[in-house]
Amino acid sequence: MTSEEIRIAKLRFRDDLFNDTLPFWLDRCIDEEHGGYFTAFDRDGTRLQTDKSVWFQGRFAWMLATIADQVDPREYWLKQARSGIDFLTRHCIDRDGRYFFLVTRDGQPLRKRRYVFSECFAAMAYAAYGKAADSDEHLQMAIDLFRNIRHYTGPDSKLPPKINPRVRAMKSLATPMILIGVGQEVRKATHLQDCNEVIDHCIEEIRRDFMKEDLDCVLENVGMRGEVIDTFDGRLVNPGHSIELAWFLMEEARQRDLPDVASLGQQILDWSLELGWDRQHGGLYYFRDCQGLPCAEYWHDMKFWWPHAEAIIATLLAWRMTGDDKYWNWHKTIFDWSYEHFADPEFGEWFGYLHRDGSLSSTMKGNQWKGPFHLPRMQFYCWQLLEEVIHAQPV
């Protein structure tokens, strides 16, 4: 790659973020009457429902506050972030302190899930907003919620398990993975030392129990001591999750000078690209079986937007950290395939769901799972990473 290629790539990420992705959402997602964000839209921006995803009240508030803090301190970004922050605190918290998953337009509760992803995204939002707005109140909210999340996911948790533990005790990669990501964001804003302790524990758990050298993969679900369970769930690999985890680990290695953790992230990335990339049609499979057996989920061979966004980050970061051209080549391959198949040059943003051959499955641009997070985070992170490369800052 040349310096000109790097410069062009940097400008593409920045311009797509501010001229394509963010306008699609900001032109229509802010609820001026009740606050918060709508996320259910068709291709052209037609709103499909008014119920609100609690995940995205936190996720989009985090994205907007991060922009305000790191690149553009205008009041505009803080105002839009505050809309989600206030909606979260007024309407999305149950009486037990847990957060809902889905609420009506005016904040009446519809669904609550057994896991703590809503809480995790809220903690990220409070941290980023507290830092950007210099709000001690919101920084403390982030700290308090992070500590609650730690309790909810710890050994004394009273949250209901997915599988009857008296019959088959299992644990999921999703928990240590999201704790690493949330811990990094809370630490960035608050300098809370608890975050390092939690992150280190999660890295060790992943290394010990979820990474399988003999299978060349990271499993989504294992026994409580890392046992491989010979069932559909026990053999399941989610390449997108593994790739997202890989760049979380590489970023942690950069922040704290942990070369062994960098190697872990690069190993996971290598495994995941090898297992997850569709050699016939291109793109990343959604699920794979670690033994090459059929997956139970009917969408196993579909191509979803978010694994590709995470892979664009992970391959660029791996190239930045190693200088290995194989990662740059992977980055270009995934970037080009993604923009050819997911991007919508007419109305902006990305489609979310493709069939295996890359043809469109749905024209929908957003729902309670897809919204302004994975794509704008990728564009923002890669823009900033390439700025770093151009200015020759140390890894």
pLDDT, average across residues 20-33? 99
Question: Is the per-residue pLDDT at 234 higher than 60?
Answer: yes
Q: The dihedral of CA 133, 12, 284, 372: what is its sign?
A: positive
pLDDT value at position 341? 99
What is the tens place of the pLDDT at every residue in 37-84?
Answer: 999 999 999 999 999 999 999 999 999 999 999 999 889 999 999 999
CATH class of this structure's domain 1-30+172-395? mainly alpha
**Alpha helices (runs of H) in 216-299, residue ranges in sequence order:** 239-256, 259-276
Between residues 198 and 74, the one the model is more confident about: 198
Report the percent of the chain where pLDDT is more than 90: 95
Q: Which helix (H) or strand (E) holds 223?
A: strand 221-223
Boundaries of every domain in the chain: 1-30+172-395, 34-160
What is the tens place of the pLDDT at every residue in 73-119?
Answer: 889 999 999 999 999 999 999 999 999 999 999 999 999 999 999 99
Neighbours of 268 (CB within 10 A): 26
The mean pLDDT of the chain is: 97
pLDDT band at 393 (very low <50, low <70, confident <90, very high): low
pLDDT band at 392 (very low <50, low <70, confident <90, very high): confident
Residue 276 contacts residue 243 (beta carbons within 8 Å):
yes
Residue 52 contacts residue 37 (beta carbons within 8 Å):
yes
pLDDT value at position 158? 79
What is the tens place of the pLDDT at every residue in 279-309?
Answer: 999 999 999 999 999 999 999 999 999 999 9
pLDDT band at 395 (very low <50, low <70, confident <90, very high): low
Question: Is the per-residue pLDDT at 394 higher than 70?
Answer: no
pLDDT, average across residues 249-256? 98
Q: Which two three-digit tokens encode residue 394? A: 């140390």
Question: Which residues, in sequence order, are CB contacts of 100 under 8 Å at separation 6+?
Answer: 54, 92, 93, 94, 109, 110, 111, 112, 118
Query: Within a 13 Å sphere around the CA of 72, how many CA atoms are in the beta-carbon half?
Result: 14
pLDDT value at position 56? 99
